[in-house]
Chain A
């Protein structure tokens, strides 16, 4: 009896052990777990796909770690900050921010940094994804007309900033020398429907915001941290109008958001959306249900959200004057079916009249600076007018003067506008509060008085009157002056 029992126990132990071994060996075959990401072998070569913002390369998916060759060219080139304002950008790959690099953990990146022969200055690159002195800066210091090669292994998954670190470092960054490199975990990030690349930066120009012509970099303003422009993707309007990013109702959107600085910290927010997930600071930690996420200069975050209703969602730095006055504004246009349960739209428009009211006024000094360069021709008037429109009027009246239903009246084919030019001038100069009827629709909101010179008012109104099916009036500074003085 005893022996039989012992035998039974012995057998069952053997069986259990056997099954255990079987399971262990199976697990071993399926997946090798490396003690350190530094041990992940990288075998085959692969040329890295680089993309310009707002696009990102194909996800890494299930691919193994590879020898990834990255070819990056540095270009110093003139570009447009906003209508009529030119700026010499220094770029990685010809864009601000620079080309997006997508890797996975364990990749061995062979980085080729090429400095175009026509460039004036030496440059280098510091990638925050690099473990090593200077993040690669030391090994990549490259004179114009030369190419430097160095390699590194991606040890930590995450979203990282890269930037130029040549003296004077601040100036190289301020001129646009930054971008993002993503290191995906093994197996890749979960797949989503839409992915985009957005990076904020602050710019410092000799002339004030909007001053036309080629604007040189202003070191003193940069030192004082007084930015003239705070923008997404290198310029005003890089993500608005036709350049807006898009998605459809029901899709999940993932934004790779970086902040190049050089100075300002971003309070990244999408108006009308809640981030379902935020990879805080671009790392492993995931926070859920976030309204605004802080992105430090030289830092990044991955934000994800499902879009449930159609419409235009505005991306902003919620340090809000930067958004509406300095350019930190982008758009996500979502198409698809409405969902009245989630968002009804306006249901009712009642009358509410507390005492007071009155006109709001922008703070201004008594003297309005005349725009320095008066328009010489109708063509120029239209050009300058458009520039002023995009800066001042666009946020409410929209790109094609269509306005926003129930909130801001349209300027396109507007009976109210065309009926009385002096009234239009007066509204720009002194603001307007209260109910008006435009094209049969009632509007009841507030427009603030605008601080514009006679010249600028004339230009912007001429632009509006000669666009979008309006009555083609030519508004002169004299007309504006007479309204101002009455």
Chain B
């Protein structure tokens, strides 16, 4: 039986669309169930609701990013606009299409700007996670969705701050958390969509009286609450960034939600 040419084209197109959606949704992403959590600065009134989302199991790798710049040459090392990425963008890459022998294929891509990370996710039909989504997923250890009160969990994070050159370790080399996600702690920092919505100025001692929900709970930055310190450094790090910065220890991963955005998204 011979199909009409029109019918054949239509079938092919449907096929392509189906394949695209399938690969974007399921490949190396896992579901994080929505819920309510109290961020590090927390008092009960500051609880944040996070809707369900799917998140990349691993950070984006050098190899994956190489494919991206090949498909989108405007993001090549030599072509990128300075407005979107500073002089450290892909600084360790030997050339536009070769990251060299010093960097591992399956290590997290770093030295990328927020603009670049955001674009990458968009091109995959995804987006960057919000601070709340990232923190919500990252407060899990191997067996608990919220392990922030556990000493071992906090020590693990603090230990990473002191471990040199982790950016070139392979993805998946840290632990798989409750949701099935790897490497949220222990490899690299990660970009978030609204990284600079947190009002941390350079003068951190002053921030306690900033009129923002992060620091109005400043009483919670109490002596006994060690979990604040591990997270505090993450917030301080985000506070030091600008969107065109490209940093050695800073990579990213993407998320997806049903709608284009979560309702909490604040950008």
Q: Nearest residue in B to A175 (C-beta to C-beta)?
A: B162
Q: Are A138 and B202 in contact (CB under 8 A)?
A: yes
Contacts of A146 in B (CB 8 A): 245
Interface residue from A88, A124, A216 paired with B202 (Cβ < 8 Å): A124
Contacts of A118 in B (CB 8 A): 164-165, 248-249
User: What's the least CB distance linking B255 to chain A, in Å?
Assistant: 24
Q: Are B240 and A122 in contact (CB under 8 A)?
A: yes
Q: Are B226 and A219 in contact (CB under 8 A)?
A: yes
* CB contact list, B225-250 vs A, under 8 A: 226, 228-229, 232-233, 235-237, 239-242, 245-249
> What DSSP secondary structure best describes chain A's contact surface?
loop
Instruction: Scan A262-274; emit 1 where CB is below 8 A from any B CB, else 0.
Output: 0000000000000
Q: Are A144 and B247 in contact (CB under 8 A)?
A: yes
Stretch at the interface among B16-24, B57-65, B123-131, B153-161: B153-161
Q: Are A133 and B203 in contact (CB under 8 A)?
A: yes
Q: Nearest residue in B to A116 (C-beta to C-beta)?
A: B248
Q: A216-B159, A223-B224 are in contact. Are A141 and B237 (CB under 8 A)?
A: no
Q: Are A217 and B158 in contact (CB under 8 A)?
A: yes
User: What's the least CB distance linking A140 to chain B, in Å?
Assistant: 7
Q: Are B245 and A121 in contact (CB under 8 A)?
A: no
Q: A167-B232, A171-B229 are in contact. Are A216 and B205 (CB under 8 A)?
A: no
Q: Are A145 and B158 in contact (CB under 8 A)?
A: no
User: What's the least CB distance linking B12 to chain A, in Å?
Assistant: 47
User: What's the least CB distance linking B117 to chain A, in Å?
Assistant: 15
Interface residue from A121, A134, A214 paired with B206 (Cβ < 8 Å): A134
Name the interface size band of chain A: 35 or more
CA distance in complex: A146, B160 (Å): 21
B10 within 8 A of A: no
CA distance in complex: A120, B224 (Å): 25
User: What's the least CB distance linking B257 to chain A, in Å?
Assistant: 29
What is the total of A-B residue contacts with beta carbons within 8 Å?
103
Instruction: Scan A138-171; emit 1 where CB is below 8 A from any B CB, else 0.
Output: 1111111110000000000000000001111101
A220 within 8 A of B: yes
B200 within 8 A of A: yes
B143 within 8 A of A: no
A117 within 8 A of B: yes
Q: A167-B232, A217-B162 are in contact. Are A137 and B203 (CB under 8 A)?
A: yes
B46 within 8 A of A: no
B207 within 8 A of A: yes
Contacts of A133 in B (CB 8 A): 203, 206
Q: Are B158 and A216 in contact (CB under 8 A)?
A: yes
Q: Nearest residue in A to B238 (C-beta to C-beta)?
A: A122
Contacts of A140 in B (CB 8 A): 202
A45 within 8 A of B: no
Q: Nearest residue in B to A167 (C-beta to C-beta)?
A: B204
Q: Are A122 and B158 in contact (CB under 8 A)?
A: no
Interface residue from B229, B237, B239, B248 paired with A117 (Cβ < 8 Å): B248
Contacts of A167 in B (CB 8 A): 200, 204-205, 207, 232-233, 235-236
Q: Are A121 and B237 in contact (CB under 8 A)?
A: yes
CA distance in complex: A171, B91 (Å): 30
B49 within 8 A of A: no
Interface residue from B159, B232, B248 paired with A144 (Cβ < 8 Å): B248
Interface residue from A77, A117, A169, A217 paired with B204 (Cβ < 8 Å): A169
Instruction: Scan B190-223; emit 1 where CB is below 8 A from any A CB, else 0.
Output: 0000000000111111110000000000000001
CA distance in complex: A121, B245 (Å): 14
Contacts of A168 in B (CB 8 A): 228-229, 232-233, 236
Q: Are A219 and B229 in contact (CB under 8 A)?
A: yes
CA distance in complex: A4, B233 (Å): 90
Closest 4 CB pairs of A and B: A141-B202, A122-B240, A167-B204, A134-B203
Interface pairs (29), CB distance under 8 Å = A77-B164, A117-B248, A118-B165, A120-B237, A120-B249, A121-B233, A121-B236, A133-B203, A134-B206, A137-B203, A138-B201, A138-B206, A141-B201, A141-B203, A142-B240, A143-B241, A144-B247, A144-B248, A145-B246, A145-B248, A165-B203, A166-B204, A167-B235, A168-B232, A169-B204, A169-B205, A171-B233, A216-B155, A217-B162
Please list the residues of chain A having a beta carbon within 8 angstroms of any beta carbon in chain B. 76-78, 88, 117-122, 124, 133-134, 137-146, 165-169, 171, 214, 216-217, 219-220, 223
Please list the residues of chain B having a beta carbon within 8 angstroms of any beta carbon in chain A. 88, 91, 155, 158-162, 164-165, 189, 200-207, 223-224, 226, 228-229, 232-233, 235-237, 239-242, 245-249
